[in-house]
Structure 1
């Protein structure tokens, strides 16, 4: 089995690039032999930060966030690129007149409206259909205080695993945006965590 664990960079305080395959949930194929995950991770994270999230060279058209967690054993920062949807249903229900995101639906698209702070970002802890949860999920389960980079904005956030009817609603929104996610869930016995990242204003 290919090892998707975090890989280190040198120097104190450096962030660690991790699992670019988490950002491509529509594929269920393992990388070919010789595929350098570490190098791809570094390239994607660097391009994301240089362009404010507009990926042109590495994963054109992908809508990603960078999630930074704190290592549960090391206390070091780990950064993971992830596909996401933005949940607007809770935001709409909290306001009498709704908002411009419209309709109480989970919005799978773009960064529009995210730059003002607040809101809920939803990600899927697939680990490419591996039998265990990814390290980034186990990190935030131990310490839910995380950092989310969304386009040009950097937010502190609090992570929470969705359960029950909320998980089902958000899971369906994720599948609508990234259909390959459903195949990942069907391949494993574990219930893949759906994680809500509540951005702090």
Structure 2
């Protein structure tokens, strides 16, 4: 999805279908994410306290499991970023494995170290950062 199509209802429907496909196929999906490493991140809603599931690409760099709050280069963070900042305890599903994690938002120095490595793997993250004035956050997920 591009930032031009980030209508909340569309994102919700897209994610719902992706989550169902992920769970039905042991963590594998087709379409534009066929070769991507995806996980399902379950956060606790910062306001609602309810579980919120987000399908996300993840990256393993220097032994760290990283997720990126790019939201297609939108000028706002995805909701899961707000949720993790309010409550860093979360749950992930990776393939057929599922476990609890604690999220650590990379400091500006850590982010500056890892963002070029991310853009080397997935150049579109450089384009997303160029489209927005916000600093796109990066989180490390550590097994709880």
**What are the Cα deviations for residues 113-144 of structure 1, in whole angstroms up to 9, with x where unaligned?**
xxxxxxx3101111222222221100110000
Q: Are the structure 2 counterparts of residues 162 and 54 from structure 1 closer, same or farther at C-alpha, using a change threshold of 3 Å?
A: same
Task: Give the structure with higher Rg (CA).
Answer: 1
2:12 matches 1:68: no
2:51 matches 1:77: yes
Structure with the higher fraction of residues in helix conformation: 2
CA RMSD across the alignment: 2.2
How high is the TM-score relative to the length of structure 1? 0.64
Which ranges in structure 1 are unaligned for 5 or more consecutive residues? 1-20, 22-27, 92-119
Residue number among 140, 162, 171 corresponding to 2:106 in the alignment: 162
**Cα distance in 2 between the residues matched to 1:164 and 1:147:** 25
Q: Following TM superposition, where does structure 1 have runs of at least 4 consecutive aligned residues deviating by more than 6 angstroms?
A: none
**Counterpart in the other structure of 1:172:** 116
**Cα distance in 2 between the residues matched to 1:159 and 1:184:** 22
Q: Are the structure 2 counterparts of residues 142 and 36 from structure 1 closer, same or farther at C-alpha, using a change threshold of 3 Å?
A: closer
**Cα distance in 2 between the residues matched to 1:30 and 1:147:** 29
Matches of residues 32-181 of structure 1 in structure 2 within 5 Å? 36-56=10-30, 59-87=33-61, 89=62, 91=63, 120-181=64-125
**Cα distance in 2 between the residues matched to 1:158 and 1:124:** 15
Structure with the higher fraction of residues in strand conformation: 2
Which ranges in structure 2 are unaligned for 5 or more consecutive residues? none
**Cα distance in 1 between the residues matched to 2:126 and 2:47:** 31
**Cα distance in 1 between the residues matched to 2:18 and 2:135:** 28
8 Å CA contact retained: 1:84, 1:174? no
**Cα distance in 1 between the residues matched to 2:103 and 2:48:** 19
Aligned length: 143
**What are the Cα deviations for residues 154-173 of structure 1, in whole angstroms up to 9, with x where unaligned?**
11000111113321222122
How high is the TM-score relative to the length of structure 2? 0.87
**Counterpart in the other structure of 1:198:** 142
8 Å CA contact retained: 2:68, 2:136? yes
8 Å CA contact retained: 2:69, 2:136? yes
